[in-house]
Each structure stands twice: as structure tokens, then as C-alpha cells.
């Protein structure tokens, strides 16, 4: 671990615990983890584990598996009690976050429990380096934490450290391989299973359950069967046996993640079956062992004719899955991307989340920044995620309250010395965990918490200034008003306004000489707006009520259309792209001013990334502004240089 950035838990935050007298009551594997953490802190900073007269009591009162804990401060003693080992572990990390404040004041009894039972990261890691996708698909922090040279890493110290980081912010599950399952990854279910068991053992120390992405075609690919038909008795028997063998190796295995009938991945459609048929077959295999299948709802036509304006990729998930509501097994979770397209910098919340009351849904976010700067740009996503989780899908129930299957994020972590490539991208990982624990939490408060743990008080104001508005800054210099994409095809980094405009992927902006945007109204467009419950169907249908930031997602309008801000669409495009670059320049200067207050290696990495962000932001500004000036013929009212 030499040289590895300790993320949001540098040793210094353990000092208040390490200088205290601590009493630990209870037994079990996770209590042993807590005991080891406290002992290590005491050895470094001078405290002690004691049997009497403690400053801190950590007590397990039962063994019911609960993740809840009670925090109390009375009579000069701080107490954490829990009825499950995981709860005690989370209570311990709560004290760590509070630092010295945990030992000050009186009468602070608080009950803490997670708002969502499953808080999961999906790693898109490949066992072997894929010739197209590389070691980690859509990963921007180096190679895999788990896999190297075609096999599991022999040294699991970093995996154990990773489990510690995840537990510190409340994450309790990890899928350790890519949802696009290639030949080597498929075998993790069978002859490569002992490697998965080793990884699961390292993560188990911190209460993390391991999941596997599996191919729907496994009975054919691995079992030698002639079919993978989910209603075939021999296929169901094969899955039952394979699943039982997994649990014999990994008793606390979480379950399977499946991408089926999506972007070329095999699925039940080949046999005339439904997604519910496929998911329920796997759910039946997992049910005796307490496992869950996460069936991804990212299903759409990726061979669309760009000339066809009646086919709308945004509609696809709703159209595929809503007719199946109520048909999925209790331990089948439909995993839905938070927006209808693909993790864009601005999308509406997916209408599917509010349209399947009879199905367990998990909401999927993307921590790895595929479309938000690829961890080369500062882009703290907390405000976006909070908006999603607080969104009232029917005017009342929020997304967070409907995510009964949990909250999932595509991981942003790799083997980079700074974990996330860009040290400030660690804020996204931490924020995801804390919002998964408490979906209604204030993201700004979470950001302050992460900054305090990672940097201390000295540079805190400057770091906050760099991060707090960074998502909206990124939005300003990239795709405007919710229109999305405009990225280089394939790798998705940098601007290409027409990059996907004539492609089969269904990601169009329809800019012409007169206007821009996709008509998704019921009255004259694809009808997508009608997939929402009231009041949102009416809000998005109408030009008068549609929010500016989503205008081009729902409507095709003229360049002279007046926004609620008082600007025309074309002037908004010009202004925001100039403003975005100016804000990156200002952020770079703020970061430069922190050189004496931040660890030199960390400061140098962020400074290096800022140079690339500024170069890229200028390229976005100039390409987007030039494109729309040439399309519209409308000059910038402020007469700035447009090429």
C-alpha cells in the first residue's frame, strides 16, 4: 500500500479514537474487524483497549444481521450499540467521521439505519485484457483491483483496503466483473470460482457481499447444452447446480447481475421468452440460498435507422418492461438506469422508475465518468444524484423511496495510486455511498464531510470552491439543454457534435438550419413524454412548462426560441460555453493557490488534470459554438470570437 492515497480516511482521522480508552463487547467476524481497527489506531496514537472506565464503548447486543446502530454520548462516555456486526462496523465508522466531535458534548442519542438495504457497486472489470474494452470497460482509474494477467490478483491487501473504504461510507455489495461477460469472465461461475471466493473473503472482512455478472448463455457456453431456454427443464437444472456450487464456495454470495438482450448480449428473446421468464429462472436458482438476480433494464434497439424518427431509444425500457410488471419473482430486481438514455450530464428521470409498482427496482447511477469527463475533468456528481433521488415521480413518492431493490453505481475505482485516477473523483465514490445510506441527505453536507476527512480544515474552502459547482460547469461547456451526447464515437471523450447523428445508436439531436432538439411530445413527436405520471407528463409535454435544462430533450425548437431565463436558445449555447471555460480557468487558479496546503503528489496530479480539462473545455466551446453559428447563421450578441 506504499504510496497509495488513503482516500477519505487518512490516518489522522483515527487519532481521536487512538488516543481514547475503548471498550469493545461482543464477538463475531465483523466485531473482530472493529477490534483490529481500534487496536491499530491505539498502537499508532497511544490509546488502549480496556475492560473498564472507557471513553468509548462499542457493543454488539445480538447477532441478527442488522445494519442499524445507536450512537449516544452521556456522562463523558461515547457509546455505539448494535444488534448486528455490520451495524457495529458502521457505527464505528460514524465515530471516525465525527472525529473529536464524537467525544464532546452530552445527550446526543441518535438511531441510524440505512435508507436502502442494498448499496452496491458494479465493476466493469475484465479478467483478461479485452482487445477492444481493455482491462476495465469505461474505467478511468487504471487496471482492475481484482484481476491481473488473466487471473485474480495474488496479493489481496489492496482489495481488503478497498473493502474498508467502501464500509466507511456504507456500501455493502460489489459485483466484481463486467456486465458484458466475455469468455474468461463466464468461467468465474465454474472452474474459476475459487478465485472469486478469495476476493469474497477479503471483502467479507468489511461486510461486503460479492456478486457476479453472468452470461445468460452460460448453459451453452459452459455446460455444453444445446439451449439456454429459460423454460427448459435441463437448463433450469443446470443453473440450480451451478448456483449451489457457488454457495458451497461463498456462503454469503449476493447473487447474479445480468445484461441480456442488450447491445448484442444473449437473452431470452432468442427463445421467444420474456425478460421475466429469464430473470425468474435465475431467481429460482438463487432463492434457496437467499440470493438475488439483478436484471438490467438497459434494453433498446442499437441498430436503429437514423432516418426513422418514430423509433425513440428513450422509450425502450418502458415499452419493454412495463407490460411485465408483477411478473418478476420477489428475489428478482430490475436494475434501471436513472435516466432513459445513458448517464448523460443531464437527463430526465426514467419514467420506468414510477411505472412498475409490482416489481422490485434498483436505480443505477454511474460513478465512473464516462460522459462527464472520464475522471480527467473535475465533475462532482452529488447534486445530480440528489436531484434524481429526491425527484417526485408522481408528485409525491420520490425515486429514493421507490428504489426497494437498492441503489447501484458503476464503479470509478481501479489500481491507480489515487484509486480514482483524479483524486477529486473520490468525492463521487464517497457521495454515492452516503446517499445510498440516506437518499434524502444534503449533498453539500456530504461534500463538506468528505473534504474534512480527506484534506482537513486548511484547504477546505478552496477544495469546496473547486468541486461544488463542477457538475454544472461541465454541463455548460458540453451538450446544452439536455440534448445529450455530442461526443466522439466509441471512446466518448471530447466533442463531436455530429459524432452519433447518423449512426444506429439512437442518440440524435436533429439540428438543422432552423432549430435543434428531439420532439418527444405526445401531440407531435415520439410520445415519450406520455410515459410519465401526472404532473410530469403535462409539464414535459408543454413548451411553456418544460424546464429549460431539459428543453431539447423533449422538444425541437428554433434557435430564436426564448428560454425562461430570458435568453434565446442560440445565445444560451454561446454564453454557457464561454462561461464554462471561464469557470474551469477560475477553478485551476484556486487549485494552484492550495499548493502549500495539499500533499504534493495529490496536488500535482490534480493540477495536471486541470490542464487537460481546460484544453478539452476550450475544444468543446469552440466546436459547439462554431457548429451552431454555422448551422443557424445567428451571430453572438456579445461579438466574441467564434470560428
370 is catalytic: yes
CA distance linking residue 241 with residue 246, whole number of Å: 9
263 is catalytic: yes
Proportion of the chain in helix, strand, coil states, percent, rounded to 5: 40, 15, 45
Rounded to 5°, the CA angle 289-158-194 comes to 40
CB-based burial label for 346 (10 Å; 0-12, 13-18, 19+):
buried
The answer to whether the CB of 536 falls within 8 A of the CB of 526 is no
How many CB atoms neighbour CB 77 within 10 A?
16
434497439: which residue's cell? 301
- Please provide the DSSP assignment of 188-209 as one string: GGTTTHHHHHHHHHHHHTTTPE
477492444: which residue's cell? 132
The answer to whether the CB of 222 falls within 8 A of the CB of 235 is no
CB-based burial label for 29 (10 Å; 0-12, 13-18, 19+):
exposed
394 is catalytic: no
477560475: which residue's cell? 586
DSSP H or E run through 78: strand 77-82
Cell matching residue 334: 430490475
Please, where are the H alpha helices in 295-424? Answer: 316-321, 382-390, 399-402
Supply φ then ψ for residue 477, to 5 degrees. -95, 10
Go through the chain and tell me how many residues it has: 643
CA distance linking residue 357 with residue 286, whole number of Å: 23
CA distance linking residue 165 with residue 205, whole number of Å: 12
Q: Considering the candidates 185, 347, 370, 412, report the single residue annotated as catalytic.
A: 370
Q: Of 442, 419, 458, 428, nearest to 12 (Cα)?
A: 458
Q: Considering the candidates 5, 342, 415, 519, report the single residue annotated as catalytic.
A: 342
Q: Of 521, 520, 514, nearest to 558 (Cα)?
A: 514
Q: Considering the candidates 63, 234, 249, 263, report the single residue annotated as catalytic.
A: 263
CA distance linking residue 309 with residue 517, whole number of Å: 12
Contacts of 542 (CB under 8 A, 6+ apart): none
DSSP H or E run through 436: helix 426-437
Cα atoms found within 13 Å of the Cα of residue 99, Cβ hemisphere only:
15
CA 300, 304, 306, 312 torsion-angle sign: negative
**Is the preceding omega at residue 252 within 30 degrees of 0, hence cis?**
no
Q: CA separation (Å) from 8 to 154, 287, 468, 596?
A: 26, 37, 17, 20
Contacts of 395 (CB under 8 A, 6+ apart): 533, 534, 535, 536
Residues with a catalytic annotation lie at 263, 342, 370
Amino acid at each position: 500500500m506504499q504510496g497509495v492515497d488513503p482516500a477519505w480516511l487518512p490516518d489522522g482521522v483515527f487519532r481521536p479514537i487512538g488516543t481514547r480508552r475503548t471498550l469493545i463487547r461482543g464477538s463475531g467476524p465483523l466485531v473482530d474487524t472493529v477490534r483490529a481497527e481500534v487496536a491499530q489506531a491505539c498502537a499508532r496514537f497511544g490509546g488502549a483497549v480496556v475492560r473498564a472506565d472507557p471513553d468509548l464503548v462499542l457493543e454488539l447486543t445480538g447477532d441478527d444481521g442488522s445494519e442499524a446502530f445507536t450512537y449516544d454520548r452521556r456522562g463523558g462516555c461515547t457509546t455505539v450499540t448494535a444488534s448486528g456486526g455490520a451495524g457495529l462496523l458502521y457505527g464505528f465508522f460514524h465515530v471516525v467521521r465525527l472525529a473529536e466531535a464524537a467525544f464532546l458534548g452530552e445527550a446526543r442519542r441518535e438511531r441510524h439505519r440505512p435508507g436502502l438495504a442494498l448499496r452496491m457497486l458494479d465493476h466493469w472489470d475484465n479478467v483478461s485484457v479485452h482487445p477492444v474494452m481493455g482491462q476495465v470497460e469505461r474505467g478511468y482509474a487504471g487496471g482492475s483491483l481484482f484481476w491481473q494477467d488473466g487471473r485474480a490478483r495474488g496479493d489481496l491487501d489492496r482489495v481488503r483496503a478497498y473493502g474498508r473504504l467502501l464500509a466507511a461510507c456504507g456500501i455493502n455489495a460489489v459485483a466484481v466483473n463486467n456486465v458484458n461477460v466475455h469468455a474468461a469472465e463466464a468461467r468465474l461461475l465454474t472452474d474459476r470460482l475459487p478465485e472469486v471466493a478469495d476476493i469474497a473473503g477479503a471483502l467479507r472482512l468489511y461486510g461486503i457481499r460479492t456478486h457476479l455478472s453472468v452470461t445468460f448463455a452460460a448453459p451453452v457456453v459452459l455446460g455444453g447444452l444445446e439451449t439456454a431456454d429459460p423454460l427448459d427443464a435441463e437448463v433450469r437444472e443446470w443453473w440450480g447446480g451451478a448456483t449451489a456450487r457457488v454457495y458451497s464456495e461463498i456462503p454469503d454470495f449476493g447473487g447474479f447481475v445480468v445484461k441480456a438482450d442488450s447491445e448484442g448480449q444473449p437473452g431470452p428473446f432468442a427463445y421467444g421468452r420474456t425478460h421475466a421468464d429469464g430473470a425468474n429462472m435465475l431467481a429460482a436458482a438463487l432463492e434457496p440460498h437467499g440470493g438475488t438476480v439483478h436484471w438490467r433494464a438497459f434494453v433498446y434497439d442499437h441498430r436503429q435507422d437514423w432516418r426513422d424518427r418514430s423509433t425513440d431509444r428513450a422509450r425502450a425500457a418502458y415499452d419493454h418492461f412495463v407490460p411485465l410488471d408483477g411478473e418478476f419473482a420477489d428475489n428478482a430486481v430490475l436494475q434501471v438506469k436513472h435516466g432513459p438514455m445513458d448517464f448523460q450530464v443531464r437527463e430526465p428521470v426514467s419514467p420506468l422508475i414510477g411505472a412498475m409498482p409490482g416489481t422490485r427496482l434498483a436505480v443505477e447511477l454511474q460513478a465512473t465518468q464516462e460522459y462527464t469527463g472520464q475522471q480527467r475533468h473535475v465533475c462532482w456528481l452529488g447534486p445530480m444524484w440528489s436531484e434524481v433521488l429526491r425527484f417526485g415521480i408522481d408528485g409525491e413518492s420520490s425515486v429514493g423511496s421507490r428504489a426497494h431493490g437498492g441503489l447501484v453505481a458503476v464503479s470509478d475505482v481501479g489500481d491507480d495510486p489515487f484509486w480514482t485516477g483524479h483524486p477529486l473523483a473520490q468525492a463521487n465514490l464517497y457521495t454515492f455511498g452516503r446517499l445510498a445510506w440516506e437518499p434524502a441527505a444534503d449533498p453539500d453536507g456530504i461534500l463538506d464531510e468528505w473534504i474534512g476527512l480527506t484534506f482537513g480544515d486548511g484547504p477546505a474552502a478552496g477544495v469546496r470552491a473547486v468541486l461544488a459547482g463542477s457538475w454544472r460547469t461541465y454541463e455548460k461547456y458540453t451538450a446544452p439543454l439536455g440534448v445529450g451526447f455530442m461526443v466522439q464515437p466509441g471512446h466518448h471523450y471530447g466533442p463531436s457534435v455530429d459524432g452519433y447523428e447518423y449512426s444506429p445508436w439512437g442518440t440524435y439531436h436533429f439540428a438543422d438550419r432552423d432549430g435543434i432538439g428531439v420532439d418527444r411530445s405526445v401531440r407531435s413527436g415520439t410520445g415519450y413524454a406520455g410515459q410519465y405520471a401526472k404532473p410530469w407528463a403535462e409539464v414535459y409535454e408543454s413548451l411553456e412548462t418544460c424546464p429549460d435544462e431539459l428543453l431539447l430533450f423533449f422538444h425541437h425548437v428554433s434557435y430564436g426560441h426564448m428560454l425562461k431565463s430570458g435568453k434565446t436558445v442560440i445565445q444560451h449555447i454561446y454564453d454557457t460555453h464561454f462561461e464554462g471555460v471561464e469557470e474551469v480557468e477560475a477553478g485551476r487558479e484556486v487549485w494552484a493557490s492550495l499548493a502549500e496546503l495539499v500533499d504534493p503528489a495529490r496536488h500535482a496530479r490534480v493540477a495536471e488534470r486541470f490542464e487537460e480539462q481546460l484544453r478539452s473545455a476550450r475544444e468543446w466551446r469552440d466546436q459547439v459554438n462554431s457548429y451552431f453559428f454555422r448551422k443557424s447563421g445567428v451571430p453572438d450578441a456579445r461579438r466574441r470570437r467564434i470560428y
